[in-house]
Amino acid sequence: MKKSFLIFIFTAFMVVMNVSYWYYNKSTRGMGFTICKAPGREKLDENASNNVRPLKGMMTILPQGRFGNQIGEYAALYALAKMNDYQAYLLPEMHQEFSSLFKLKLPVISKDADKRIKWKQYPLNNWMCPEYRNITGENVKLKGFVYSWTFYHHLKSELLEELTFHDFVKDEVNSYLAQVRGDRKNVTFVGVHVRRGDYEQLFVKQKRGVLADKNYLQKATDYFRNKYQNPIFVVTSNGMKWCKDNINNSLGDVYFAGDGNEGSPARDFAILAHCNHTIMTFGSFGIWAAYLAGGEAMHLTNYSAPDSSYLKYVKYEAIYLPEWIAVAADLSELIKSKAQSQN
């Protein structure tokens, strides 16, 4: 009797265990659980979830342009590698550009390895195209000036985590903003990026476009003055003299970063990204500062002539987020000058 009872208990126990195991597998199927052997590109275990796919190979991107351009390239690389099941790697030049500012997580490939690998070159437009969801090849090197939100905005939370500032950068910027704030309470910081410098020649003369003018900046600053109680405008630019001559500071609420001198791109970017809201004029630098800052963002739009070559490879709607505030540029002088040249 005792032996029969023990056999009964053991049999019941095994039935309960099998039912529990079956239910566990059923409840977790499709949720991404898998047996992890070791880091790397090993073949997945046969019992792994069907939602977890093996990596195809390596993906990187060629660093091109300046600071803002390369942040866009970083973001596109991160998004496209994840979308197409590749392991993203940074080339040393891009890592060097950002490692002193951000807590980068993507691994770096050495220059020697970059030379040895047989890369499949893959050119990109400045906006997301359907074919980019089906990139093939064992090792892919992307190339293109890409800073359109259409590549990466669906991964915003992940991307913001990727582009986390070092603690010492945060401390330095917060110390500067505290100095600017002084004894004022309930302050709202508005970062202002004014792109001048090379674009006075490159864009105005070669692309038949216009840069932000005095009227645009007055409209932008007035918008934030009317909406917030104590706004402070922190201006960064590669044309500080122009800014001092054209930005109205009669209320004493405008501060020119770097004591009115052009600062380093990294420092200026960190300041802008730590403000509450953003006014941008032109270029990917201001776009990315606004993206990281969050809050409201105002930008100039329709700033090139309808027949400008610039519009062959750029779409306004792919550059600026729909919720950002767009202010149309004044093209009257540009149109007038063209009409005069045709007469």
Percent of the chain residues past pLDDT 70, beyond the cut: 79
| Structure tokens given for 29 | 């199927």
Task: Check the CA dihedral 140-146-148-154 and report its sign.
Answer: positive
Q: In terms of domains, do 260 and 127 share one?
A: no
Burial of 311 (0-12, 13-18, 19+ CB in 10 A): middle
- Least confident range of 198-202, 275-279, 326-330: 198-202
- The total domain count for the chain is 2
**Residue range of the domain that includes 80:** 58-162
- Least confident range of 102-111, 150-159, 240-249, 262-271: 262-271
Quickly state the pLDDT bin for 340 (edges 50, 70, 90). low
Pairing label, strands 139-143, 120-123: parallel
Q: Compute the average pLDDT of residues 169-180.
A: 96
Q: In terms of domains, do 172 and 72 share one?
A: no
CA-closest candidate to residue 71, choices 274, 271, 284, 237: 284
* Cα–Cα distance, 174 to 168 (Å, whole number): 10
pTM (2 d.p.): 0.80
Domain boundary residue, one of 162, 190, 212: 162
305 in Cβ contact with 331 (< 8 Å): yes
The CATH code of the domain that includes 210 is 3.40.50
pLDDT of residue 309: 79
Q: In terms of domains, do 104 and 174 share one?
A: no
Q: In terms of domains, do 212 and 113 share one?
A: no
Quickly state the pLDDT bin for 270 (edges 50, 70, 90). very high
Q: In terms of domains, do 140 and 70 share one?
A: yes
Q: In terms of domains, do 213 and 300 share one?
A: yes
Q: In terms of domains, do 172 and 205 share one?
A: yes
Asked whether residue 4 is assigned to any structural domain, the reply reads no
Is the pLDDT assigned to residue 219 strictly greater than 80?
yes
Q: In terms of domains, do 270 and 203 share one?
A: yes
Task: For residue range 15-66, list pLDDT tens digits in order.
Answer: 333 433 333 333 323 322 222 222 232 232 333 334 456 688 999 999 999 8
Q: Side by side, which strands form the sheet with 87-88? A: 87-88, 58-61, 139-143, 120-123
Asked whether residue 7 is assigned to any structural domain, the reply reads no
Domain boundary residue, one of 135, 162, 189: 162
Q: Compute the average pLDDT of residues 218-242.
A: 95
Q: In terms of domains, do 83 and 176 share one?
A: no
Asked whether residue 18 is assigned to any structural domain, the reply reads no
276 in Cβ contact with 180 (< 8 Å): no
Q: In terms of domains, do 206 and 250 share one?
A: yes
Q: In terms of domains, do 137 and 157 share one?
A: yes
Q: Compute the average pLDDT of residues 90-107.
A: 95
pLDDT of residue 259: 59
Q: In terms of domains, do 158 and 171 share one?
A: no
